[in-house]
Structure 1
Amino acid sequence: MSNVTAIYSPNFRMAMAETLSHEGGYANHPDDPGGVTMLGITKKTWARWTGRKVRDVPDEEMRTLTVEQGLPLYHAWYWQPVRADELPGGLDFVIFDIAVNSGPGRAVRMLQKAINRLGRIHIEVDGMIGPKTLSAASKINVFDLINEVGNTRLWFYFDLSTFKTFGKGWVRRLLAVTSFATAMALGRAEFMIMARQGVALPEHKQAA
């Protein structure tokens, strides 16, 4: 298992609370290429995180996977690779949520495409987040960028062969993500979380 020690930022905790509200619990949909999934973590991903082969991870272990067990994985493999702590508030959550669904590389490419589409700055679309991408993201109105990344994500969904099966859910999630990201950018996201019964902020503490 990866040994990650990090203090989770308030924005990461808020992003996790919102992402988990969409990911739900245990799932094993026959049309989902991810297969067995719990808290948005596929069995394949959990096996890699714990240093095992997929066949060595029992379904029961996936069923009982807890948020506390999943937090270090989310932080190390989806939050840190997109350098979310260096992105503007709200945009950090959008890119993180895409990374969870589609991988960090695709999340960064969507951000880079959105930056270029807004027409003020042109950067290379290479899926690598470095100083140029971070600088460009900081110079564009965060609300414009949140919406443009959402548009880019929507067109990506339209092109997927499984859109007919999962499209409605994806679009609902996209709209909810955009709304929550806007609240984060305005500094009001915690009020949205507090208004939802049963969705708690993960504890602000060190990862084991």
Structure 2
Amino acid sequence: MTGETAEAIKYAERGENIFPYLPDIRMDHAHALIQVGRVADAIPLLLQCRQLGDVKDPLIDTVPGLGSFLAAAELGRAWLLLGDTACAAEWYLTSFRENTRQENIVWFLANLLPLEHASIRAQLYNVCKQDPLCFAYFVQACAVRGEGLAALDFRNFTWSPDRHADRTVALDRGVEGIRAIYGCVYEIESVC
């Protein structure tokens, strides 16, 4: 498998030169680097994906989100693999803020964010309850952690598809809250 991954890295490097504005190839390159344990080398590629942004009017089939929320989620994963939970939490939160229909991100957020702080727990709850699958992952993560569920009010909870209007506002406050708690006073892209 390592030989195949090394070959994939070589092809990705060539592909980046041929198609310099496609985040897809850089994402594949980053995945291959992570697979062989070169996580720190993948971070600049993922940041380049974010800098390129999503492909507008593609001539070929590309994956939506590789230049935005998917790259942010991979940055969260990379920082988590490197052991920096504060940067991982910020990148996962950035990804979730850019696309709140990512139930797989909720598990990481609920385990990385300091849910013992009622304001962060309530903000994540208010965003997650807009989508039934996100909400299920949130409740599951809280239950596994053994905290937070008692403070959440489930009595008047009913889900409806039109209850997603306040998601972005709550998540913007969430980023500021996580920075304040972890003492991060930097911009995400400049340090993490």
Structure having greater relative contact order (Cα 8 Å, sep ≥ 6): 1
Give TM-score, length-normalised by structure 1. Answer: 0.22
Which protein is richer in helix relative to its size?
Answer: 2
Give TM-score, length-normalised by structure 2. Answer: 0.24
